[in-house]
């Protein structure tokens, strides 16, 4: 049985996903909708308040701009969550956990596992299928478009209400859960995601806030090349919103030998020295 939780600001989107849930779910379920049109609370708050109302032990947090395309996806979720080693299940994630500011998606494609029919504003839908043929893969971080977990997992970790807005809530809870449980990607849930998302100034500020909480986190494995590439890309995008001085100050806590290694550390310092 499933409790499906949706934070809503668009009735048309909401009605569409409700219809797709009705047409694709086999087991008994409930839909808990938090109407956030007027209150405009952070998504973390809406999810936590909604989860308190859930009657069932399996929780699905999903964006309203989604349609489910395959029948019986719910049984796959319940089957996966029966393994008590599993923390969170999603349909897009990565197998490397960066120390530096980053979302779940990595520039090195080999680490990404994605199965989404993605709609773009000016293009026809595109299928992203980068899961390397594996039905179930252990990952660290997952995209918040779809997150499933048992109620006991949510109760232990909850969504971090210190994060404002609608960014980083997914990678934050996934990182905390990954220290104790195994997060997994599955390609057994097929969705159409109608929106591209919004990577704006608020996104970068929230990612920085999220990562600064984990400066002392026990990153069990570290790849200096990935860390360098991710931090460099983050810096480049940050420069679209802040001047050089502000960017340096914002990423300063992450320019460390333990994150970037000897070569990456000095290369990054040199790049900043000559950056315009």
pLDDT tens readout for residues 193-230? 988 777 889 999 999 999 999 988 888 788 999 999 99
pLDDT at res. 57: 97
Q: Is the pLDDT of residue 261 over 90?
A: yes
Mean pLDDT of the chain: 92
Instruction: Name the helix (H) or strand (E) containing 242.
Output: none
Domain ends where: 201, 232, 252? 201
Show the domain range for 94: 2-201
The candidate with the shortest Cα–Cα distance to 142, out of 87, 190, 209, is 87
pLDDT at res. 25: 95
Instruction: Specify whether 54 is located in the same domain as 155.
Output: yes
- Contact present, 139 and 87 (Cβ < 8 Å): no
Share of the chain above pLDDT 90, in %: 82
Instruction: Specify whether 240 is located in the same domain as 175.
Output: no
- Contact present, 25 and 67 (Cβ < 8 Å): no
Instruction: Specify whether 60 is located in the same domain as 179.
Output: yes
Let me know if residue 210 belongs to a domain.
no
Q: Is the pLDDT of residue 177 over 90?
A: yes
pLDDT at res. 89: 98
Coil/strand/helix, residue 263: helix
Instruction: Specify whether 150 is located in the same domain as 232.
Output: no
Q: What are the φ and ψ backbone dihedral angles of 99, each rounded to 5 degrees?
A: -85, -30
pTM: 0.94
Domain ends where: 140, 166, 201? 201
Q: With cut-offs at 50, 70 and 90, classify the pLDDT of residue 117.
A: confident
- Contact present, 54 and 103 (Cβ < 8 Å): no
Let me know if residue 195 belongs to a domain.
yes
Instruction: Specify whether 175 is located in the same domain as 252.
Output: no
Let me know if residue 15 belongs to a domain.
yes
**Rounded Cα–Cα distance for residues 64 and 16 (Å):** 8
pLDDT at res. 255: 94
Instruction: Name the helix (H) or strand (E) containing 202.
Output: helix 201-212
Average pLDDT, integer, range 90-115: 94
Q: Is the pLDDT of residue 164 over 70?
A: yes
Let me know if residue 246 belongs to a domain.
yes
Instruction: Specify whether 139 is located in the same domain as 88.
Output: yes
Q: With cut-offs at 50, 70 and 90, classify the pLDDT of residue 273.
A: confident
Instruction: Specify whether 157 is located in the same domain as 266.
Output: no
Q: Which of 107-116, 172-181, 190-199 has the lowest mean pLDDT?
A: 190-199
Instruction: Specify whether 123 is located in the same domain as 235.
Output: no
Let me know if residue 215 belongs to a domain.
no
Q: Which residues contact 243 (CB under 8 A, 6 or more apart)?
A: none
Let me know if residue 206 belongs to a domain.
no
CATH number at residue 122: 3.90.550.10
Instruction: Specify whether 194 is located in the same domain as 233.
Output: no
Domains contained in the chain, number: 2
Q: With cut-offs at 50, 70 and 90, classify the pLDDT of residue 131.
A: low
* CB neighbours of residue 112 within 10 Å: 21
Average pLDDT, integer, range 15-23: 96
Let me know if residue 149 belongs to a domain.
yes
Average pLDDT, integer, range 38-57: 97
Instruction: Specify whether 140 is located in the same domain as 111.
Output: yes
Q: Which of 130-134, 135-139, 142-146 has the lowest mean pLDDT?
A: 130-134
Instruction: Specify whether 110 is located in the same domain as 168.
Output: yes
Let me know if residue 207 belongs to a domain.
no
Instruction: Specify whether 62 is located in the same domain as 6.
Output: yes
- Better-predicted residue by pLDDT, 119 or 201: 201
């Amino acid at each position: 049985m499933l409790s499906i939780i949706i934070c809503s600001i668009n009735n048309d989107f909401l009605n569409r996903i409700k219809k797709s849930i009705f047409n694709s779910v086999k087991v008994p379920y409930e839909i808990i909708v938090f109407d956030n049109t007027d209150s405009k609370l952070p998504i973390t708050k809406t999810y936590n308040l909604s989860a308190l109302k859930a009657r069932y032990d399996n929780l699905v947090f999903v964006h309203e701009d989604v349609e489910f395309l395959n029948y019986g996806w719910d049984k796959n979720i319940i089957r996966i969550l029966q393994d008590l080693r599993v923390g969170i299940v999603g349909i897009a994630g990565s197998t490397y956990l960066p120390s530096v500011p980053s979302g779940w998606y990595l520039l090195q494609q080999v680490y990404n596992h994605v199965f989404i029919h993605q709609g773009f504003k000016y293009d026809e839908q595109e299928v992203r299928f980068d899961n390397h043929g594996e039905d179930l893969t252990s990952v660290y971080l997952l995209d918040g478009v779809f997150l499933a977990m048992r109620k006991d997992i949510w109760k232990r970790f909850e969504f971090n209400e210190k994060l404002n807005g609608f960014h980083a809530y997914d990678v934050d809870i996934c990182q905390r859960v990954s220290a104790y449980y195994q997060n997994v990607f599955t390609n057994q849930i097929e969705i159409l995601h109608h929106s591209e998302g919004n990577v704006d100034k608020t996104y970068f500020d929230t990612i920085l806030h999220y990562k600064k909480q984990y400066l002392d986190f026990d990153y069990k494995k570290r790849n200096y090349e990935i860390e360098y590439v991710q931090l460099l890309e983050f810096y480049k995008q940050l420069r679209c919103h802040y001047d050089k001085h502000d960017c340096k100050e914002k990423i300063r806590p992450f320019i460390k030998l333990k994150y970037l290694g000897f070569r990456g550390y000095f290369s990054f310092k040199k790049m900043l020295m000559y950056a315009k």
